[in-house]
Amino acid sequence: MLARVYVTPKKAILDPQGKAIAHSLHALDYPEVIEVRMGKYLEVRLTGLSRAQAERRVEEMCRRLLANPIIEDFRFELVEE
Amino acid sequence: MKWGVVIFPGSCDDRDALYCLETVLGQQATALWHKDRDLHGVDAILLPGGFSYGDYLRCGALARFSPIMQSVCEFAHAGGPVIGICNGFQILCEAGLLPGALVRNRSLSFICDWVRIKVETSRTPFTAACRVGEILRLPIKHGTGCYVADAETLSTLENNGQIVFRYVNAAGEASETANPNGSLHNIAGVTNARGNVVGLMPHPEHAVESLLGGEDGRKLFRLPFTWL
């Protein structure tokens, strides 16, 4: 099973990287861009777990290590391979 | 007085810290390896600057799980004095020993410069030798030094006197232009509720000899015996 984990900076946290990317997109003539938030994408490959177990384990991995809840939000999806 | 300086893979200011403590200040200091659990009976612990574990995932996120950090956490919870400098500050935040977190500098640039910080409290072992309101001139060198915390945490820090250092200008004002990295409330260093754990982004261990630009850092390593 594959867990696709998305970690993004919390809304309230200043994201200078996202801001700089948005500026560059404007410079490339994409005025329709109103905001960019830059985060991380992780692929976590799992074995020997039921879907329900995987849900619980990955949630825990996110809280304990993959995201810092003070500055980041996370979400994930599980894909059968 | 015996110090322990923790060395993680990727630490780079551990030698400077040991040199500062032993050679410059004439104190006892020993290196503590990240894979060990034994603190060798030290009285105070210093987590040095650098790029532990290559700054992978988030600065300080992986160092926090090394075996020595379990012992450091126990030591801190028992009231032992712990100071984290730069990457050490990031590790203490990731480990939950200090509130808040450090994110990329507002400018996105790595900053290498001298700054002024104001001592906001002398009720920590590391600022006991300082006067409240005293201004120290110290170097910074970081890319991820912007201190953030939610509004509730910030007001707790302000009300409890847990903000230890603020970036200020020559007049001692915590102005926007004196803030090198965008830290909320110009915060350069904080302490826990008990006051025994302190983290800061500037490098006191690099400012202990006038030949290298200043000696203001020395004061932070003069711990009062009442803490030991």
| Domains in chain B, number | 1
Which residue has tokens 């970081």?
B142
CA angle B32–B17–B219, rounded 5-degree value: 125
Q: Where are the domains of chain A?
A: 2-79
Residue B76 CA: distances (Å) to CA of A4, A21, B8, B82: 36, 41, 18, 6
- On whether ipTM exceeds 0.90, the answer is no
Torsions phi, psi for B43 (to 5 deg): -95, -20
Spatial CA neighbour of B145 closest among B20, B56, B62, B60: B60
Domain that holds residue B20: 2-227
CATH architecture, range A2-79: 2-Layer Sandwich (3.30)
Chain B positions in Cβ-Cβ contact with residue A73 (cut-off 8 Å): none
Q: What is the CATH number of the domain that holds B81?
A: 3.40.50.880
Question: Best mutation site among A68, A73, A74 for testing chain B: the one with the most B CBs within 10 Å?
Answer: A68
pLDDT tens, position by position, B106-154: 999 999 999 999 999 999 999 999 999 999 999 999 999 999 999 999 9
The set of catalytic residues of B is: 86, 203, 205
Chain A positions in Cβ-Cβ contact with residue B100 (cut-off 8 Å): 70
Number of residues in chain B: 228
**pLDDT at res. B1:** 85
Average pLDDT over every residue of B155-173: 97
* pTM for this model (two decimals): 0.94
Q: How far apart are CA B62 and CA A66, in angstroms?
A: 10
Average pLDDT over every residue of B194-201: 98
pLDDT tens, position by position, B44-86: 999 999 999 999 999 999 999 999 999 999 999 999 999 999 9
